[in-house]
Structure 1
Amino acid sequence: MPHRVLIASIVCIAVVLSVIFGGGPIASRSYLEETAAQAQTTLRLAVAALEGHLKRYEALPALIADQENIEELVQRPGDEHLRAVANAYLKDINGLLTSSDIYVMTMDGNTVAASNHDGPLSFVGENFSYRPYFQDAAQGRQSRFYALGTTSLKRGYYFGSPIEVRGEILGVIVFKVDIDAIERSWSGGDSRIFVSDPEGIIFMTGSPEWLYSAIEPLTPERLARTEASRRYADAWLRELPVRRGTYAGHDSMTISDGTTDREYLVASAQMADAGWTVNVLIDTGTVRAQAKTTIIAILLFLCLAGLFLAIILQRRASLNERMQMQAEAKEELERRVEERTADLARVNSRIEKEIAERRLTEKRLRQTQADLIQAGKLAGLGQMSAALSHEFNQPLAAAKTYAESAAVLIARGRIDEASDNVRRISALIDRMASISRHLRNFARKPKEKLGAVSLDEVVRDTLEIVDARLKAADAELTVTLGTELPQVRAGAVRLQQVLVNIITNAADAVEGLENRQISLTAMAEAGRVVVLVRDHGPGVAAAIRERIFDPFFTTKGVGKGLGLGLSISYNIVKDFGGSLTVCNAAEGGAVFRIELDAASENALEAAE
C-alpha cells in the first residue's frame, strides 16, 4: 500500500509540473486564435455596416442633380423664387432620406441652396471651394470625402456630383451623411473599434478619448495635406502613444494612457472606395487571464483527482461492498429504465393518435376551404341573379316576338322575311346557351391541376359572366391586354373566379357615381404577368386596407355580401404562387394588383 501511494504521488507531481510548464502556452495559443477569429468577425461586421450605410446615399446626388428645379437654380442662382423652391425641396428630401445636409453650390464654391437654409447654422452663403469633394465634382467626377464640418462642426461623409445642363457643368450638389449612429454602436463591449484616414488620424471610434489622435507620426507633409482640405476644421490633432509589434504571430499594438500600457490584438481592413482603414482592437490581457484561469482550473481538477485516488486506495477494503451496492443500483436502474421505456411507448402511441387526428383535421380543413370557395362562387352568382334574369328575359321576349311575326309572315306568304326571323331566333338561343355554359362552368367545383392558362381566354369567359352585372351598374369595362402576353401558371376556373369577384366589386364601387369607368390591364414584368383592375369609386380606406382580405369582412350593407369574395380570391392567387394586393390610385379609386408566374414551356397540364 505505501509503495502504491508513493507511485501515485510521483505521478501527480509530474502531471502538475507538465501542466504548469506546457499547458500555459498551449492554452494561450488556443485562446489567442479564438480571440483573433472574434476580432476578424467584428471587423467584417463593422466594415459591412459602414459600407452598407454609405452605399444607401452614393447614387442620390446624381439623381437629385437631374431635377429640373436644381438645374434652373444653377442657371439663375440670383433668382430668389428659385432659391426658395430649391431650399424647400432639399429640406423635404433631406427629411425623407434622413441624411445630415444637402446643399447646392455654384462653380465659384458659393452655396446658393441648402436643406438647413432656415437653421442657425445655414450653409447658404458659405463658400466650400477648398473642399476636395467640390473640386472633384466641379471637374465632372462623382466625389467622396470625409471631414468635420467647418460650419456645423459635425462629422460627416460627403457625396458630391456635378450638375450638368446641356453638357455644361454649372454647379455641384453635395449630400452630407451622418455616421454618428454607427459610431455609437461601437461603444462598450470587449473590443475597441476605430477608423483612420489616409494620414493615420482617427476620426471614428467607440472610445471618445482617441478621437482626432494619430496612430502614425504627424509629419509636416501629413499636417499640410490635412489643413489644405480643412478636413478636421479647428480640431486639435495629436499623436496617440502607440508601439506596434507582434504577439504569438499576430499583429499587436501597445497604447499608453499616461499611467499604464495596454497591449491589444489588432485586425485591420481597407475600405478602398472611402480611403479608410477600419481597425478592431482586443485587449490581450483578457487572453492571458483566460489562460491563467484554465491552468488554475486544471490544477484544481488534478488535486481533486489525486485526493479521490488516495481515498480509493485507503478504502480498498470496502471495495467488495461498494461493488455489491453498485450491482443493486444497476438492477434498480434497469428496472427504472424498463418503466421509463414503457412510459415512452405509451406517450409515442398517444402522439401517433394525435398526428392521425391532426391529419384528419387538415383534410377536413382543406375540404372546408374548397367548399368555402364554391360557396363564394354561388353567392356571387346569387347576387348577379337579377341581372342574369334580365339578360335571359330580353332574348326570350325578342324570340317570342320574332316567332309571332314569323307566323304572320308565313300566313301572308312572305317566306324570306319569316326565314330571317327564324335565323334571329336561333342567334338569340345561341346567346342564351353561351351564357348558360359559362355560368355552369363557373359554378362547378374545379378539380384542376396548375398548368399553363391563357389569360386572354379566361378574361373572355369572365366578361360573359360579369356582363349582366356591368349593365345593371351602368358601368363600362375597358380591357387592355399586352402584346405577346405569356401564359400564366394557374387554374382556369379559379382564376376566372378571382377576376369575377374583383370586377363585381368594382361594379359595386362605381354604381350610382358620375364616373363609372372600370379598366382591366395585363402586362408582362420580369418573368411574371401583372393584372391591374382599377375603378373610379371611393377607394379603400386606410383603416380597413389591412383587413380587406379577411374572411367575412365586408363594407357592404346587410344582405349584399358574405365578405368571402376577396378572402377566397386572395387564397386562390396565393395557391398559384402569386400575390393579390390593393392600393388607392392617385386620381382616386381602388387598384387591385394580381401577380402570377409566367408558365414554363413544359407546363402542359390542362387547367380544367
Structure 2
Amino acid sequence: MGFGRPLARHRRRVAAIAFLAVIGWAMLVQANGWLATRSIIATVPQGENILRLAVSGLRGELARHERLPDLMSRAPVLTAALRPDPGRADIAAANLYLRHVARLMGLSDAYIMTPDGRTVAASNFDQSLSFVGEVFDYRPYFADALAGGQGRFFALGTTSGKRGYYFGAAVRDRGRVLGVLALKVDVDAIEDSWRAAEYEMIVTDSEGIVFLASRRDWQFRSLAPLTDAARARIAATRRYDDAPLDMLPLQPAGEVGDNPLLRLERPGARREFVTVAEAMPEAGWTVQVLLDTAPARRQALMASVAGMLILWAGPAGLMAWAQRRARLRERLSIQAEAQAQLEGRVAARTAELAEVNARLEAEVEERRATEAELRRTQRHLVQSAKLAALGQMSAALSHELSQPLGAVRNFAANAVTYLDRDRVPDARQNVTRILSLTDRMTEIGRTLRNFARKPNAALSDVDLHDVLRDALEVIAWRIGKRPVTLDVDLPPGPLLVRAGPVRFQQVIVNLLSNALDALEGQEDAVIRLRAEAGPERVVLTVSDNGPGIPEGLDDRIFDPFFSTKGVGAGLGLGLSISFNIVKDFGGELRLLRQPEGAAFQIDLPRAEVSS
C-alpha cells in the first residue's frame, strides 16, 4: 500500500513525458519542413550566379566564332576550289588553308561544300575520318547558308561522332553562290568546367533533349517523352545520329518558390535538385542548373534540432528538478518504513537467539555424553579390528597352503603305491617333490606374514617357462581328476621377467585353480595360457571357456573376501593376494572381457638377457 502512490505518480510522469515527446516530434517535423524550404530557397541565388556564368561562357564561345565564317568565305582560295572543274592545286590550297585556320582558331573542323552538299575540301583532309567526299545537304546549317542566311546548328557529327556547334556561310563569286563554308566548334572544354559535386548542369535543345551535361551519362537523353513528330524532325537532320534518346530518370517533386524540384532515382542512391533555368533564344537552347538540396536539408535539420533542444532545455530542467525532489521524498519515505521494519525484525531476532542459546546448552550436554559413549565404542572397534586382522591372516594362510597340501597328499599316496609295487626310483622322485612342496609352504608362510604381502622382498630374473612348469606341477593333481584341455603357448627360449619365483608361482596357481573351479562339470573345458613378449614388457594371459565374470563386478573382483563361488567353495582371497603380489613386482593384474569365459592378464617388466 505504501508504494501505490509513488507508482501512480511515476506513471503520470511517464505519460506526460510521452505526450510532450509526441508534441515535440510534431513541432520538429513542422520546423524542419519550413526551415528546409527556406534553406533551399536561399540556395537559388547561388544557382542563378552559376547559371549566369555558364550562359555567359556559352555566348562568349559562340560570339568568338560568329563572324569568322563571313570573313573566311571571302578568301579567294575557297572560291577557286568551289568553281566548276577546279584543279588539284586549287583543292590542295583550300585544304591547307582550312587546316591552318582551324588550328589557329581552335576549331574542331572546317570544310567547304558544293551546292549539292558534297564536301570538296576540309581541314581533316589527311585524316582517316576525312570529310572530303561526304554529303551534308541534310544539315539545316547547309540549307540556311545556301539560301543566303546564317547557318546555326548543334549536332552530333555523323562521320566523326563528336558533338559540335556548326556555323554555316555562303561562298560567293561576284554575287553568285558557289557553295557553303561550315565551321564546327568543339564545346567539350566548356562542359568539362561544369564538373562539381554540389550541382549538375544541362543544356537542352528546342525538343527538350540534353546535348551538353556535367554528367556524361545524361547526354543525348530527353527530359520528357518525345513525340513521333519530334523524332521524325530529329531523324531528318540526323542531329543525334543513331542515339536512342531515352528519358532521364528525373521525376518532378514539386516546387520551392518559383523553382521546380526534380528527384533523381538511381539504384542505391536518391538525390533531389532545385532547378534554375535561362533560355538562349539566339541558339535555341535552354541552360539549367540543378542544385543538390541535401546540404540545405541537412542544415535545416541541424537548425531544427538545435532549436528544439534550446526550446526544451528549460522545461526539461524543471522536470528534472521536480523529478529529483519527488525521488528524494520517496527515498525518505522508504527509509522510514524500512527502519520500522528493521526494528521489529531485531526484536524478533533477539527473542529467537535467546531460545536458540537455551537449546544449544542442552545440545552441549547431550554432545558430551555422546563423546564419552563414542570413546567406549572406539575401544571396542579397535579390539574387533585386531580380531578381524587375525582372521584375515588365518584365512589367507589356509587358502595359500591348501593347494600345496593337496599336491603333497597326492604325491604321498603315489609314493606308497610305488613302494608296494617295488618301484623305488618313482617313490623317491615323489618324496623329492614332497620335500620341494614343503619348502614352498615354508616360503608361503614367510611371504604371508604381513597379509600375504612383503613389499621389500628381493626380486630376481625369473624364466616364465620354469615358473609355469612348477605351477603346473603343483596343480597337476587337480587337473588329472577332470577332463580339462590345457593349451599352453609360450615363445621359445628364455623369457625372463623381474619377479619373485615362489610368489609368481603362487599367482599362477591361484589363477589356474580359479579356472578349474569355474569349469566344474563342463565337458569341453579348456584352459589357455598365452605369453607375448615386447621390448620392455611380458604379458601372460590365463583364460578359460567357463561362465565368466558377471557384468558389473570389475571394480570388486580384486577385493579381499569377495567371491563369485558358492558358500564354502572359497574364501575370496586368491585374486586379492595375487593382485598385490603382481603389484609388488612392478606389474599389473587385470581382468579382460571376452565373449566366452573369463580371462586375466599379468603384465610384468621384462628382464634384460645378458649376452
TM-score bracket relative to the smaller structure: 0.3 to 0.5
- The structure having more radius of gyration, on CA atoms, is 2
Q: Calculate the TM-score normalised by the size of structure 1.
A: 0.47
TM-score (normalizing by structure 2): 0.46
